[in-house]
Structure 1
Amino acid sequence: MSALKVWRDRDGKLLRLRLARPKANIVDAEMIGALTSALVEAKADIHLRGVLLDHEGPHFSFGASVPEHMPDQCAAMLKSLHELVREMVAYPVPIMVAVRGQCLGGGLEVAAAGHLMFVSEDARLGQPEIQLAVFAPAASCLLPERMARAAAEDLLFSGRSITGQDAVATGLANDLSAEPEAAALAWFDASLAKHSASSLRFAVSAARAGMVERVIAKIALVEDLYLNGLMATRDAVEGLTAFVEKRPAHWEDR
């Protein structure tokens, strides 16, 4: 079965993308590739006015594939994920993301790369990577752009999760709703569907001017830091290995 469901809505004006491997909706190579391909294929459509990314099951995503973070696979995984993030942050029309339940790790990185986030009251959003002795490269670039730096650093350093209400209060998310998918569709109908698609693209480009360039430049830096710095440490490999082996990690602080 496909990791992603893709279709058009609202007379073709809205691209619908749905993560389709509940309950975890793991952001692995297959999921990343499917998302990137769907976005690239649709963006040349001059009538497109928006994208809605949501999910099957109770959770948006438990995060990236931990086995794909191991030293022999992490370079390919990071490069493909960062290609997706670059595509999303520079996308010519607004990407709306609807989140229920857990939205963690690589899942939150994908969600944060969109333009507007609609979350449920039961949503739990976080970057738990530090608990495995690694860090979240894309989130290190995206979260400080979406929310106050102090709040972003709290998530990145602590590994804790916040509620949907906290996400709205800190600026990470735009709207709190019992039905985030319905809220996103209502926002599209009221705020995007009636506009000139060509003018909307200029508005999106103007709003993200500077931000896109900052994120793209920083992703290159943190990707190098991850691959050539972090992954040369003993504790990073130990944390990932312990998770895969389902045992407590033992830190040596090196």
Structure 2
Amino acid sequence: MENDAPLKVWLERDGALLRLRLNKPKANLVDAAMIAALHAALGQYRRHVMLRGVLVDAEGPHFSFGASVEEHLPDRCAAMLTSLHALLLEMLEFPVPVMVAVHGQCLGGGLELALACGRIFAAPSAQFGQPEVKLGVFAPAASALLPYRVNQPDAEDLLLTGRSIGAEDALRIGLVQEVAEDPSVAAKAWFDQHLVGKSAAALACATVAARGVMQKQVRERLAELERLYLDWLMRTHDANEGLAAFLEKRQPAWTHQ
């Protein structure tokens, strides 16, 4: 693995566990380079015969601040959404369980990345949020994925307020499955206890079977939400104003149109 690459990739547990570590601290942005690196790693190991799990974590103090705001601008957002959603569907449809270990901030596209995985392990100080609405936009992938993880009112709370919640609140609503001082260690312990002894072939079939309906519905919903984002939202004044204000480090001047 290359230390200057956006993603560190290696195998553990005699090839049973694929490790993917976001490697652009402190923000670990889910930008075009990170998306391409994750896509390449998943493609490389998708048919690895011994694989029984994937663990995604991150270098530095934070899991991810989310997607690049520059890539949300009107001339780039279509390509960004297409590539991000393709990656999230690839993770959602990956034929072994994908775990994620979160510390620090897990926001926006970073949380969408985690939502496309299976079990989320969080450090006590972890913070989770979808702040897109504060920028005058919304989170298409989270809008499709959150209702599968938490109940509808809690999903709407995160999507409509843009606020962040801590690890214990995330555990309470079902967004997080375990809180641990070292979430990567906790994830590996869960893997060792529950997955490493399973048949890789049986586990692959069980994973596809367990997620089949969700995969189909999320794929269809993402296509609808991309159209809403590109054909409606990005034609509004406020979406463009909110993104510009963030980049210019000023308060947005909403027209509500």
TM-score range, shorter chain: over 0.9
Secondary structure (helix, strand or coil) at the match of 1:246 reads coil
Give 1:209 deviation, angstroms. 2.0
Secondary structure (helix, strand or coil) at the match of 1:178 reads coil
Deviations 1:131-177 (A, max 9, x none): 00000000000100111111011000000001111111111111111
Deviations 1:204-242 (A, max 9, x none): 112112111111100000011101110000000000000
Does 2:182 correspond to 1:179? yes
Secondary structure (helix, strand or coil) at the match of 1:210 reads helix
Task: Tell me the C-alpha RMSD between the 2 structures.
Answer: 0.6
Does 2:232 correspond to 1:229? yes
Secondary structure (helix, strand or coil) at the match of 1:208 reads helix
Q: What TM-score does the superposition give when structure 1 sets the normalisation length?
A: 0.99
Task: Number of aligned residue pairs: give it.
Answer: 254
Secondary structure (helix, strand or coil) at the match of 2:82 reads helix
Aligned to 2:173: 170
Aligned to 2:203: 200
Choose which of 42, 60, 65 in structure 2 pairs with 1:57.
60
Give the gaps of 5 or more residues in structure 1: none
What is the correspondence of 1:1-254 to structure 2 with a 5 Å cutoff?
A: 1-254=4-257
Instruction: Give 1:138's aligned amino acid.
Output: A
Secondary structure (helix, strand or coil) at the match of 1:40 reads helix
Deviations 1:94-124 (A, max 9, x none): 0000000100000000011001100011000
Deviations 1:30-64 (A, max 9, x none): 00110111011101112110000000011000111
Q: Runs (4+) of structure 1 moved beyond 3 Å?
A: none
Give aligned-pair identity as a percent.
56
CA–CA separation in structure 2 for the residues paired with 1:221 and 1:203: 28
Secondary structure (helix, strand or coil) at the match of 2:27 reads coil
